[in-house]
Structure 1
């Protein structure tokens, strides 16, 4: 009797080994193919595409440990934090008003698109609003469960299509449209891919302890995306304070992208909605419109501040912090500025937008009940 739980745990692990190996091989194959074809973000978009196609063709259950996802986010967060300096921190503080204005404009534009999508497709406004709001996929799905009238299945589908549109189009534009022709970052940044100074054993142990402690605090206090924010804040604080933070070997960046790409691919389920064929074109077009609006705002930001168009676009692009951070590394954009804008939008959408949406749709429910009473 005592060994029964242990036996069950061992059996579960054995059953998950084969799906894990299958998932890993599929992700590696996708990464190698995309890298061979010189496609953008090959080690993130390659595994994502391979996993998605394999799932659709075989209908097999794949497995990817949560620890791998969290580990990949920690590596990306740490590498992004290394680009912060005292100068970049001062520049970020100066641009806080612009961050607020641009984030509000993006949210308002998403609300306008949601109104038309609701009218054309027949889905209710709360679901349309949650599906077009430029936030993270998992964050919007969780938030939709707290909003009255929102269908989490519809929200998941719309956010999935928007996410795919953004993470395939934005890197392509950033690499081939804005970075060609000798475009240089607005100011020197740390080249994390070619950096070879990995630090002494004492430095590595000290930094590792600090990163784990701050990340544990971020998880404990339920910060948004804690596995990336914790390491990012850790390395940023250490770098700004003058501590010699060790760089990551290039293979770690590849592994981080692989872990993230596989995770994103597993999280996509196209068949989650019965009328997905009707909703698909509207979701795709709304994603394109949001990216186009981000381009317009990016051009204005580029004209106002001394930053490149690439950096400005990645700052505003409605993708997730990890995805835009990886793209910023690839095109040698100002990673610290991109991380600052993306973090600001994450916190704004998670803490400010829910208050507005609960007030708005709560008030609609009250009005509907009043009309029925009459």
Structure 2
């Protein structure tokens, strides 16, 4: 019965956020309502791990479906300079997060993952795998997302002349995908199996396995079906409910002390990304609007739609943003795991010497 209560409030929250046109409505709406219900009623929310993992697998498959042969062909001319700029942006986030953790009571792992421009869900699960506070990561990533959504599109529209907004429908149709034969859904068993097998092997393995195998299948001659919107929304509700279950008011009070600090850090990262985007435009044939939106810490959909509206190249923006997502989800968690363990080993060596 408790599980029914949990998901009833999660669905209500997601739908209300959807009606209000909030960003990530099904994730954030479910998260907020489950958190408030649990906090005010003192009743523990129930979200089985199997449902949470199922939600993450669907998200991984969904993002993997964006990768096609055309995607890789599009990004090849810009791949190396873009990866360098992305590395510099991630390094900046790691440095800012590490420095801030020395001045506050937020631990280094949590602080760093709160600033890295990956998906909210992906960064939360990756931080949890590295013993970070996923509740605070969700709070500060939400602050980062709000800064991105409310600053980048209007600023880019103000700086660059408006393009033809009629193309928005075209990109939405492309995102929706084509309908395929019913039997093609059985191919999704492969990413599901991969996700389960590496779930506990690497940070965020449940997402990486599903995303990676789906991307490989999608660039092969095999044709995958699209994920129905109701399934995608259900997965987001499951993930949002699981994150809301972990958020307790004590953590919120702690996060409250640093909300404005992490908002300022998010704005700093956005400004740095604009500079890196301008640099990318100078070393490649990309125009400024396309280069800046490709580097900007999206909001994938918002960055692509902004590119359409201001006359940028949405194909390049979407391809490079997807490459960044893949790099962050696959490379950042294991790299940070190695770095944090290296710091701990160095600290232990210093203690032994004294």
TM-score (norm 1): 0.71
- C-alpha change, 1:295 and 1:269, in structure 2 (3 Å) is farther
1:139 equivalent to 2:119? Answer no
* Pairing partner for 2:148 from 162, 166, 170: 170
SS of match in other structure, 1:352: helix
Q: After the TM superposition, which residues 293-312 of structure 1 pair with which residues of structure 2 at under 5 Å, given as runs? A: 293-298=272-277, 300-301=279-280, 304=284, 306=286
- CA apart distance, 1:169: 3.4
The answer to whether 1:363 aligns with 2:342 is no
Residue 120 of structure 2 corresponds to: none
Which residue does the alignment assign to 1:78?
A: 61
> How many pairs are equivalent?
332
Measured in 1, the distance between the counterparts of 2:74 and 2:101 equals: 38
Which among 326, 340, 349 is matched to residue 343 of structure 1?
326
* Structure 2 counterpart SS, 1:53: helix
Deviation at 1:63, TM superposition (A): 1.0
State the alpha-carbon separation in 2 of the partners of residues 184 and 299 from structure 1. 27
1:69-104 CA-to-partner distances (Å, cap 9, x unmatched) read 222222222222222222211344541452244224
- Which segment drifts farther, 229-238 or 275-284? 275-284
Aligned pair 1:208/2:188, yes or no? yes
Find the counterpart in structure 1 of residue 311 from structure 2. Answer: none
Specify whether residues 346 and 263 from structure 1 end up closer, same or farther in structure 2 by C-alpha distance, changes over 3 A only. same
The SS at the match of 2:173 is coil
CA deviation map 1:145-169 (0-9, x unaligned): 4xxxxxx5xx556534322212333
Distance in 1 (CA, whole Å) between partners of 2:223 and 2:248 is 43
Question: SS where residue 12 of structure 2 aligns?
Answer: helix
Structure 1 gap segments, 5+ residues each: 1-17, 146-151
**Offset from partner CA, 1:34-79 (integer Å, 9 cap, x none):** 2222223322222222222223322321111222222222222222
Is the CA contact 1:218–1:230 (under 8 Å) kept in the aligned structure 2?
Answer: yes
Distance 2:324 2:332 in 1: 12
Deviation track 1:4-39 (CA, whole Å, cap 9, x = no partner) reads xxxxxxxxxxxxxx2211111111111221222222
Contact 2:208–2:329 (Cα < 8 Å) also in 1: no
* Distance (Å, rounded) in 2 between the aligned partners of 1:316 and 1:25: 35
Q: Which of 16, 21, 26 does residue 9 from structure 2 map onto?
A: 26
Distance 1:165-1:276 versus aligned 2 partners, 3 A rule: closer
Question: What are structure 2's unaligned runs of at least 5 residues?
Answer: 117-122, 309-313
Q: Once the 2 structures are TM-superposed, how far is the Cα of residue 297 of structure 1 from its aligned partner?
A: 3.5
Equivalent position of 2:173 in the other structure: 191
Matching of residue 269 in structure 1 with residue 248 in structure 2 = yes
TM-score, reference length from structure 2: 0.75
- Relative to structure 1, the CA distance from residue 209 to residue 281 in structure 2 (aligned partners, 3 Å threshold; closer, same or farther) is closer
